[in-house]
Amino acid sequence: MDSQTKPEPMRVLVTGGSGLVGKAIEHVVKQEGGCLEGEQWNFLCSKEANLVDLQQTRAVFEKYRPTHVIHLAAKVGGLYLHMKENLHFLRDNLRINDNVLQTSHERGVTKVVSCLSSCIFPDKTTYPIDESMIHNGPPHDSNFGYSHAKRMIDIQNRGYFVQHGRRYTAVIPTNVYGPYDNFNCENGHVLSALMHKTYAAKKEGTPLQVWGSGTPRRQFIYSLDVARLFLWVLREYDEIDPIILSVGEEEELPIKDAVEMIADALDFKGQIVFDTSKSDGQMKKTASNAKLRRYLPDFTFTPLSEGIKKTCDWFVNNYDIART
């Protein structure tokens, strides 16, 4: 067939391929038929290339010659590390993002889908938050460095489109959880840290100590749902403006409800103690998924109790390899 009429199969490079979302995308691509005939998918981990370094970034693009990029790589840490080293997170993430986007542009990559974070939203805002409100005020003080670096991806995407016609875009997932997350009790994501704490409390026969009051509300999204949506964005979503990937506003629930689901999933029958001397963080960050629903009215999200059960089972069965 004439090469004009038949586009060549995608060669996709996934940066941050060994993290929570990267592993979920790998699962969908390899186990759920997410890879179409002729496509090549390469999942990059930080051991293979340090993307803070421009030469290493260029070398890895030279090696895999991607036509499409899913950009997940970022320098991240727990809340307290971010508070201590905001400048460090700002500079490293600005470098990583600029290296990936500019190298993609120089090499003629057709599309880049980057991953932003719900922490980029303004701290003082009205709810629900939507895609048009990202730059309406400063982010929360605790991780301003990381948040501003992530916001700049949106600005840069706009620049590559206006100046070069590039279709580089971004997604904003809410609180993602699932297998291969960081389950560290001190600086893991909230659900994963709670799973590890509950597992340990059950094993030791001690009460489960939950930091904070359990009243802050969050929208949780299972990593495999995020991965399925990422593939849709890569193949179908044509806007430069970002899109929020989240369950609906009505699915936002208090942390204490999730704690009970985790206790059920791990069959923990002990006492649950909420340590109110610990900070609660933001009480809510309600995000609107109206834009996603306009595109995909029928997408079914994994119910939280089911996703928590699957993640707890994975954690117990893979305790030796889990990041703890």
Instruction: Give the closest residue to 78 by CA, choosing from 89, 69, 66.
Output: 89
pTM of the model: 0.94
How far is it, in rounded angstroms, from Cα 140 to Cα 120?
8
Element (H, E) at 45: none
| 146 catalytic residue (yes or no) | yes
CATH architecture of 10-321: 3-Layer(aba) Sandwich (3.40)
Instruction: Give the closest residue to 219 by CA, choosing from 276, 301, 137.
Output: 301
User: DSSP of 186-215, one letter per residue?
Assistant: TTS-HHHHHHHHHHHHHHHT--EEEES-S-
From the candidates 80, 146, 177, 295, give the one annotated as an active-site residue: 146
Q: Domain spans of the chain?
A: 10-321
How far is it, in rounded angstroms, from Cα 37 to Cα 51?
29
Instruction: Give the closest residue to 216 by CA, choosing from 268, 265, 261, 274.
Output: 274
> pLDDT tens track of the chain, all 324 residues?
554 556 788 999 999 999 999 999 999 999 999 888 899 999 999 999 999 999 999 999 999 999 999 999 999 876 667 778 899 999 999 999 999 999 999 999 999 999 999 889 999 999 999 999 999 999 988 889 999 999 999 999 999 999 999 999 999 999 999 999 999 988 788 999 999 999 999 999 999 999 999 999 999 999 999 999 999 999 999 999 999 999 999 999 999 999 999 999 999 999 999 999 988 877 889 999 999 999 999 999 999 999 999 999 999 999 999 988
